[in-house]
Amino acid sequence: MARYFMRLSYRGAPFHGWQTQPGAVTVQQTLEEAMARVLRLPACPVTGAGRTDAGVNARLMVAHFDMPEGDGFDPRGLVRALNSIVGPDIAVHSIEEVPADMHARFSATARTYRYFALPEKDAFMHPLVWRAPATLDYEAMNRAAALLLETEDFTSFAKLHSDAKTNICHVTRARWMEWEAFDGTRGMVFEITADRFLRNMVRAVVGTLVEVGRGKMTVEGFGDVIRRRDRCAAGTSMPGHALYLWDVRYD
């Protein structure tokens, strides 16, 4: 069998997350059904680099699948065929063969998420960003975010009763930065990079940082939330529509 990596992007609003689940439309399910139809196979399993939650977007998702060797498989033709039937909210960008031991999830060395915020109402961007209060203290939020680089146990930001075997993650970047929308509107974006992420982790981190920005929690209080290892101590999860899986890196 030959292994292939697929690079794609999607808008999360129409989907109940990445992972296939009963009674829900997901990105993985949509892709697998389209591939089975194009390739005329009973099934074509696709494994993603991660599992985005319902409504969460992906600027870049990487997934792998296997095909029999020497059957005249045409990756570029599959890209064109998939884009014609997966619908407007998924875009397949490339498919290329990789070494057989490469794994979309386990071979990834780092993942980056971004959370976009605008302080003004924007008729074009509102479904894709969070409408943020204009008075948020981003300097304090960045001081608090810096504590994440010194943290290993992210239990305080993990979804309760998840199937994760460990809550240990290694964050290498966590910072709010300025960004500009295509119409000139200026906002802020939170970027966080780690070797792995827990379910709901980024949305919980951002929600707790917003508590700092609103003055409802101090930077020291944010550190205390981390040390308590208690999800109930952290802030509420932010809406998923402003969160993006931004990049996935491999050696």
Active site residues: 53
Closest CA to 13 of 176, 157, 159, 126: 126
Question: Using CA atoms, how far apart are residues 79 and 18, in angstroms rounded to an integer?
Answer: 19
With b for 16 or more beta-carbon neighbours within 10 A and e for fewer, the 220-251 pattern comes to: eebbebbeeeebebbbebbbbbbbbbbbbeee
Could you identify the residue written with the tokens 């969460």?
56
Output the CA angle 204-209-215, nearest 5 degrees: 135
Handedness of CA 167, 173, 178, 181 (dihedral sign): negative
